[in-house]
Amino acid sequence: MYSFILNGKKIEVEKDKRLLEYLRDDTDLTSVKNGCNGEGVCGACTILVDGKKMKACILTISKIDGKKITTVEGLTDIEKEIYTWAFGKAGAVQCGYCIPGMVISAKALIDKNSNPSSNDIKKAIVGNLCRCTGYVKIEKAIALAAK
Ligand code: FES
């Protein structure tokens, strides 16, 4: 039996499996995307594990035993409002597929550094690919969210 905190709720799971499938198929947390067939290269499945960003496709339930997991669905109402406003204001959402992972990477950065430089922002989203290549507006959105 494995237990962990998922978006503030204690969860117990009997069988080990890949975390990406668990989140998407067993809990309906569909903000966590499978963008690269689980090869760990696109960042669309980015989540927070004890506040640190990680890729759900390369994790298993057994690896997160006892840890705290946060997906976009688990952000506070105020955080959801801020990121929705900032990404909208910057015009940063095109197809939208990468955005939950981008927001998680932004949160991981801003939670530790409330005044990030443009270089800090670029570095924070290095592992997140945007297939529409809208990086400039995404970086602007993260800067707005930090303010
Ligand atoms: Fe995990 Fe692409 S689905 S990095």
Q: Which of 36, 49, 98 to mutate to test the pocket of ligand 1 (most atoms within 8 A of CB)?
A: 36
Place of tokens 């602007």: 140
Specify the fold of 2-72.
Ubiquitin-like (UB roll) (3.10.20)
Compute, in angstroms, the gap from residue 23 CA to the centroid of ligand 1: 13
Q: What is the DSSP letter of 81?
A: H
- pLDDT single digits (tens) 45-87: 999 999 999 999 999 999 999 999 999 999 999 999 999 999 9
Is the CATH number 3.40.50.2300 carried by domain 75-146?
no
Q: Which ligand 1 atom is at minimum distance from the Cα of 33?
A: 3
Domain edges within the chain: 2-72, 75-146
- Backbone phi, psi, residue 56, to 5°: -65, -25
Instruction: Give the global pTM.
Output: 0.96
- pLDDT single digits (tens) 89-147: 999 999 999 999 999 999 999 999 999 999 999 999 999 999 999 999 999 999 999 99
